[in-house]
Structure 1
Amino acid sequence: MSDTIFALSSGAPPAAIGIMRISGPEAAAALKAIASEVPKPRFASVRRLHDARGDQLDQALVLWFPGPATATGEDLAELHLHGGRAIIAAVERALAEMPGLRRAAPGEFTRRAFANGRIDLAEAEGLADLLTAETELQRRHALALANGSLSSRVYEWRDRVLMLSAQVEAVLDFGDEDDVSDLPPRFAAQVEDTARELDTLLVAPKAETLREGFRVVLAGPPNSGKSSLFNRLVGDDAAIATPVPGTTRDVLSRPVAIDGVPFVFVDTAGLRDATDDTIEAIGIERATQELSRADLVLWMGPEAEGQGVRLWEVDSFADLPKDVSKATPRHRVSAATGQGIAELQSDLVTLARQALPGPSDVALNRRQRELLEDASAALHQSSTVTNPLLIAELLRTARAAFDRLLGRAATEDMLDTLFGRFCIGK
């Protein structure tokens, strides 16, 4: 944190503009060295940039943000350069030659914002999700998390539990005085009310489903039309589709967004009882494993023979005359003609939206969910016991879980993993 860091924070050159960020105690000195002066705070100024030898590097917009009221909580400068590769490289060389400056590591600007109290850990996780968001639904949820939608609720719960803890400590410290001899009549109910609020959030759809996509597995025996339908749904000839049984040997997956909803479609090997082909047998085993991971199975085999927690019967040859077809399929489609594809996609979007968090919901990732589960368990238990010492310890356990969620008690390994998700310059 004593170093001053710099990095290109805009897209890779060439580009119209390249934004170079400088953050740390030597930011003002670096700005004066390269732009001849430190301009008025928070006003864009045009300056000629020079290296240590006096050679002009560029004419750029320069902005100066004195800390701590900045994105990183430190002195911060931005150089809005022309976005050519040679210009970016020349400015980076000039900055690297200055004493006390070094190139930033991935996520280091955001990590400094966290370390300096500008954001908490839940907001940082939201920002990481925002940088990788590919659909409108992912963008909305990541932005809400980055803006503190979860943090504000956790802070409220923490403050509430802290007030309840104060009541318990009063009993423990001054239990011999008449006015604090017992816990208030509504104490247990208040604890239980808070625990139920946590439980409501814990049963909401998970962030992993939102981030990775609603997983739809296409399954059935060989030559049941899986690969052809898979190609239709992903809009690409990703899978080899032939009349030869056993063509698909492995699991093939593709992420796709439909109407702003993220999906992962999975094509699998044809399921059959026996095969002499060792590679096909491995493919069948992997296909069986995919059935257990699916949010939905599109079954194109004989009716009522599919497996999966949630399964739709699909007749995949709606364009062909058949003596025998499924009596009551959810959908009749044809990958060859496109018949029924739009209806299938619409139905998939409706189902996925029910399984994914709504625009105003908070979606918890695994780390957040586990910590809130710990807090909920401690609160539920504390509402059922009468020993003040035990209640106080359980409430401390809940507060500790809240602190870890917000990053008040975070390990370096966990922080390294999180901020390693960011690009250099963010």
Structure 2
Amino acid sequence: MDTIYALSTAQGKAGVAIIRISGPHAFEAVQALAGDVPAPRKASLRVLTDAQGVRLDEALVLTFAKNHSFTGEPTAELQVHGSTAVIAAVMNCLAALGNLRLSEPGEFTRRALENGQLDLAQVEGLADLIDAETEAQRRQALRVLSGDLGRRAEGWRKNLIRAAALLEATIDFADEEVPVDVSPEVSDLVTAVISDLENEISGVSTAERVRSGFEVAIVGAPNVGKSTLLNALAGRDAAITSEFAGTTRDVIEVRMDLGGLPVTVLDTAGLRETQDAVETIGINRAKQRAKLADLRVFLVDQDQLPELSVETDDIILRAKADLLTDGTGAISGKTGAGVSDLINQITDVLVDRASNAGLATRARHRDAMDRGLSALNTVMVLLPEGEDQADIAAEEVRIAIRALDSLVGRIDIENVLDEIFASFCLGK
């Protein structure tokens, strides 16, 4: 196994930079630069020098013994001053040692997975935590990183292994009288897992939205004030506004943090009949994005009806409240009237939806649970057939176990590892 090293903190000037080393020669590298190897898990101040004894920097050195580090390997961290010159000098000295190499993206975390320090779901939770921009994303990522999904999957696995063992006993004693009918216990075990899986699957799409962001589309006719409202929500001139119809021809996006949730607000082209080919493309895109959005805010003039069908929780507001004598149910991006109420309304709807998010956060998780659920539903169909179908039912239980094992990386994970770890930085 190679010994790897990398800068674990962000590139650029900083007060402190952390260089991480992991592998069988990690402590030798510390010995070469610091003169000795500090006791594990005790921060020690050391002067780092190169091979000629020239002083590089004064650093805090931390070491972690095998099986007691993030990667599960002997690991060291050099906390040096965060100038580009110091970082480059220390990294060059590590490269010159000859028994180390620069890590690949995500290689530290990949070693943690391979050494049993993390399961695959925790690795994904760590990636999400690093990318988290909002409070809801942080909380969700921490739940996954803490191993909650892995523990849930382990519970399912335990129940299904018990169910498979009972069915196998029925097969083994096929020519003899089995003293106890195992079908009720198998049914109870499988039914419990099916119920859990259905609950988790129902929450995946919401969890994915918390991870990637909700979309809210502002929809309406031309010149109804959509772009002005977007600018008011963004607090800047994100969209061009004018009195001419058809100014907005493409979907304009603004990223926001509402109630701790990541939200992208979309300003869409005004919906109308037109002979302009370019504007027609924009209108078609507007309709498509609006239909796919999690929530739509319809701006309407006077007593007009929304241009698209209204879904549950969609918001309908009268446009240009500054020009109306009665501002009830109206909004104005120009004056700000009703903007705070709209933000609160959007936040309430999305926070309520986010409360239904499950532990599983990715399409990969949903696919694994769908495969497991399908197999278990087949088991429930076969159980009433008794001993004649026990061998097929047992195989379906094993199929479900393998599907759910892929959640945490026990099997069938090679095809997803490269994609997952490619999103990590070198030092993680």
TM-score by length of structure 2 reads: 0.94
Shift of 1:309: 3.4
Pair 1:374 & 2:371 matched: yes
Shift of 1:180: 5.4
Shift of 1:358: 5.6
In structure 2, C-alpha distance between the alignment counterparts of 1:3 and 1:87, rounded to whole Å: 25
3-state SS of 2:200 partner: helix
Gaps of 5+ in 2: none
Shift of 1:184: 4.2
1:216 maps to: 216
What letter matches 2:201 in structure 1?
A: L
Q: Deviation per CA, 1:345-402, whole angstroms, max 9, x where unpaired? A: 111111001221468x524311101111111121122022031111111101111111
3-state SS of 2:322 partner: coil
- Superposed, 1:102-141 pairs within 5 Å as 102-141=101-140
Shift of 1:288: 1.2
In structure 1, C-alpha distance between the alignment counterparts of 2:197 and 2:94, rounded to whole Å: 48
Q: Deviation per CA, 1:143-163, whole angstroms, max 9, x where unpaired? A: 111001111101110111011
Q: Deviation per CA, 1:112-170, whole angstroms, max 9, x where unpaired? A: 10111100000111111001111111100001110011111011101110111111112
2:264 maps to: 264
1:303 maps to: 305
Q: Percent identity?
A: 41
Q: Residues 251 and 286 of structure 1 are in contact (CA less than 8 Å); yes or no, is this contact kept in structure 2?
A: yes
1:289 maps to: 288
In structure 2, which of residues 343, 346, 349 is the aligned counterpart of residue 345 of structure 1?
A: 343
- Superposed, 1:76-225 pairs within 5 Å as 76-179=75-178, 182-204=181-203, 205-225=205-225
Change in Cα spacing, 1:363 to 1:354, as seen in structure 2 (3 Å) is: farther
Change in Cα spacing, 1:110 to 1:180, as seen in structure 2 (3 Å) is: farther
In structure 2, C-alpha distance between the alignment counterparts of 1:43 and 1:180, rounded to whole Å: 61
Q: Residues 64 and 77 of structure 1 are in contact (CA less than 8 Å); yes or no, is this contact kept in structure 2?
A: yes
In structure 2, C-alpha distance between the alignment counterparts of 1:338 and 1:23, rounded to whole Å: 55
Pair 1:318 & 2:316 matched: no
2:404 maps to: 402
- Give RMSD over aligned pairs: 1.8
1:392 maps to: 394
What letter matches 1:62 in structure 2?
A: V
3-state SS of 1:264 partner: strand
In structure 1, C-alpha distance between the alignment counterparts of 2:59 and 2:173, rounded to whole Å: 66
Change in Cα spacing, 1:303 to 1:132, as seen in structure 2 (3 Å) is: same
Q: Residues 215 and 295 of structure 2 are in contact (CA less than 8 Å); yes or no, is this contact kept in structure 1?
A: yes
Higher helix share: 2
Change in Cα spacing, 1:405 to 1:108, as seen in structure 2 (3 Å) is: same
Shift of 1:241: 1.0
Shift of 1:98: 1.3
1:70 maps to: 69
1:46 maps to: 45
Q: Residues 48 and 56 of structure 1 are in contact (CA less than 8 Å); yes or no, is this contact kept in structure 2?
A: yes
What letter matches 2:274 in structure 1?
A: A
Q: Residues 220 and 306 of structure 2 are in contact (CA less than 8 Å); yes or no, is this contact kept in structure 1?
A: no
TM-score by length of structure 1 reads: 0.94
Change in Cα spacing, 1:250 to 1:333, as seen in structure 2 (3 Å) is: same
Gaps of 5+ in 1: none
Shift of 1:419: 0.8
3-state SS of 2:150 partner: helix
In structure 2, C-alpha distance between the alignment counterparts of 1:279 and 1:92, rounded to whole Å: 53
Q: Deviation per CA, 1:187-216, whole angstroms, max 9, x where unpaired? A: 213211210111111112532211222211
Shift of 1:181: 6.9
Change in Cα spacing, 1:137 to 1:358, as seen in structure 2 (3 Å) is: farther
Shift of 1:292: 1.7
1:245 maps to: 245
Q: Residues 357 and 363 of structure 1 are in contact (CA less than 8 Å); yes or no, is this contact kept in structure 2?
A: no
Q: Residues 259 and 351 of structure 2 are in contact (CA less than 8 Å); yes or no, is this contact kept in structure 1?
A: no
Q: Residues 57 and 86 of structure 2 are in contact (CA less than 8 Å); yes or no, is this contact kept in structure 1?
A: yes
Q: Deviation per CA, 1:260-287, whole angstroms, max 9, x where unpaired? A: 1221100111111123x22211111111
What letter matches 1:397 in structure 2?
A: I
